[in-house]
Amino acid sequence: MRGFGGCVRTIFLVALVAGCMSRPVSVGPVRGGNLTIASFSCDVTPPVGHPLCGGWIKPLAVVDAPLLAKGIVLSNGKTRYVLCAVDWCQLNTASHDLLCRRIAEAADIPESQVAVQTVHPHDAPIADANAQRLLDRETSAPAHLDLRFMDAVGDRVAAAVRQAVKRMRPFTHVGYGMAKVEKFASNRRVVKVNGKVRTRMSSTKDPAYHAAPEGKIDPWLRTITFFDRDTPIVRLHYYASHPQSYYGRGHASPDVPGWARAQLERDEKIPHIYFTGCAGDVAAGKYNDGTDEARTQMIARLVAAMREAIGATRKAPVSEISWKTAEVRFAPRTEPEFAEAGFRKEIADPRAPSIKRLKAALALAWCERVAGRPGVEISCLRLGPVRIVHLPGEPFIEYQLYAQSRRPDDFVAVAGYGDCGPGYICTDDAFAEGGYEPTESFAGPPSERLLKAAIADLLDGEAKPPK
């Protein structure tokens, strides 16, 4: 079955001729004693009956806990920067653009100074306004996204940012701490004897998957705290694993990270914001059987790591903010099953299963986005010894580990799940190994080299592609 696949060869030739290069752009550093911050939060829960996970699971019937858009506005007295984490599964193409644009307008800054990521719970929307517009052209097409609701969410988030701008307060120090999360993350790609890959999803009752090795992960949760001298103002948490314990029952919630951060907020009376790292090939399947008891244990393990990271926090004075962006033009998927014509045919076929039409619409929306704007922006915020990297799609853990290796003496946190239009961003080897993720990826070889080169540009200015 086709997933978020790629596009026809001709659409991407422009990107290849352009060299699929990254182009770094710097904003800062700006020094001074006028560093200020404010947090914001608003409810982005869809109405009952709205599709969840793009429309291929049970729609929303019950709200177990609200879905939130949470973030911070930073200012150096001359300009602002915004980080936002949304409790949705994905924001793709026009929907991601919408939130970035509304936030930028509210903060009176360029869109390049906004980073919007999703936390990636699955009992939540996948939102691609362009995909819905494609579906609207066809007879009896399944629903993907309520466009009026999407527009209202943009207004809500913008209003929250405008209010935050009015109540900025000074910050003087940044704190950074880390702790291992025990028995949570495991690599999804379980290698068989013949070298091919089986996929270990977020939950399973198969004892063979529970017994299989943990695999390549980043076990560390990283916590960043903004301080006004000794007073904590807000904490940001970064951890690389698919966040869901189970899903598909029509019960909307931010899942494990949402309940974990809520516990910490009750304890400390300050905002906690959670970002999912490079979790494309990482989930809880080794340790999670999909029961309520397992969910409770996962929440407890994440809370314990958050508290330990807070306890291990070191403080550093901050006198400047740096923000840097780079553009990546991912290499195309050129296999016949990723051709644009095939996606158009599937969308238009009223006899095709709904899931095929929905995924074809997401695929074609990405084709059209790349045809009009082939580059995807990544960014890095620097505050003293702390660097925060923002990446698109569902990147493999390899990219997070690579980013950290570029600055081994600094504290590097990575957030994935920006514009998720590209789908999974695999390693190049993954396409020969097989498994689930390459079937849901728009970015083919040599995208690994291209993305790593852009990450290197952000973190150390080296434009040479990694070996």
| pLDDT per residue as tens digits for the range 95-124 | 999 999 999 999 999 999 999 999 999 999
Q: Yes or no: say if 329 and 373 are a contact pair by the CB < 8 Å rule.
A: no
| Residue 89 banded pLDDT, cuts 50, 70, 90 | very high
Residue 461 confidence (pLDDT): 62
Q: DSSP E strands: which ranges in 366-452? A: 376-383, 386-390, 394-395, 411-415, 424-425
Residue type for position 34: N
Contact residues for 78 (Cβ-Cβ < 8 A; gap 6+): 30, 32, 34
The predicted model gives 192-207 an average pLDDT of: 91
User: CA-CA distances (angstroms) from residue 124 to 65, 132, 362, 394?
Assistant: 11, 16, 16, 16
| pLDDT per residue as tens digits for the range 397-408 | 999 999 999 999
| Residue 33 banded pLDDT, cuts 50, 70, 90 | low
Half-sphere exposure of 307 (CA within 13 A, CB side): 14
Q: Which two structure tokens, joined as six digits, stand for 64? A: 């177990």
Q: Is 365 exposed, middle or buried (0-12, 13-18, 19+ CB in 10 A)?
A: buried
Chain centroid, CA 185 distance in Å: 16
3 state SS for 275-301: EECCCCCEECCCCCCCCHHHHHHHHHH
Is the omega angle on the peptide bond into residue 446 within 30 degrees of 0, that is, cis? yes
The predicted model gives 362-376 an average pLDDT of: 96
Q: In what order do the strands lie in the sheet with 68-75?
A: 114-118, 80-86, 68-75, 36-43, 169-170
Residue 196 confidence (pLDDT): 87
Residue 7 scores a pLDDT above 60: no
Q: Which two structure tokens, joined as six digits, stand for 349? A: 């076929």
| pLDDT per residue as tens digits for the range 329-359 | 999 899 999 999 999 999 999 999 999 999 9
User: What's the whole-number average pLDDT of the chain?
Assistant: 92
Residue 94 scores a pLDDT above 90: yes
Q: Yes or no: say if 171 and 217 are a contact pair by the CB < 8 Å rule.
A: no
Q: Yes or no: say if 434 and 192 are a contact pair by the CB < 8 Å rule.
A: no
- What is the spatial distance between Cα 60 and Cα 380, in angstroms, rounded to a whole number? 35
Residue 322 scores a pLDDT above 80: yes
Residue 238 confidence (pLDDT): 99
Residue 225 confidence (pLDDT): 98
CB-CB neighbours of 336 under 10 Å = 9
Of 416, 451, 347, nearest to 85 by C-alpha is 416
| pLDDT per residue as tens digits for the range 375-429 | 999 999 999 999 999 999 999 999 999 999 999 999 999 999 999 999 999 999 9
| Model pTM above 0.85 | yes
Residue 219 confidence (pLDDT): 98
Chain centroid, CA 443 distance in Å: 16
- What is the spatial distance between Cα 360 and Cα 3, in angstroms, rounded to a whole number? 7
Q: Which two structure tokens, joined as six digits, stand for 174? A: 């940044």
* Better pLDDT: 195 or 54: 54
Q: Which two structure tokens, joined as six digits, stand for 397? A: 């853990």
Is the C-alpha dihedral spanning 134, 140, 143, 148 positive or negative? positive
Residue 321 confidence (pLDDT): 96
Q: Yes or no: say if 319 and 31 are a contact pair by the CB < 8 Å rule.
A: yes
Residue ranges per structural domain of the chain:
9-460
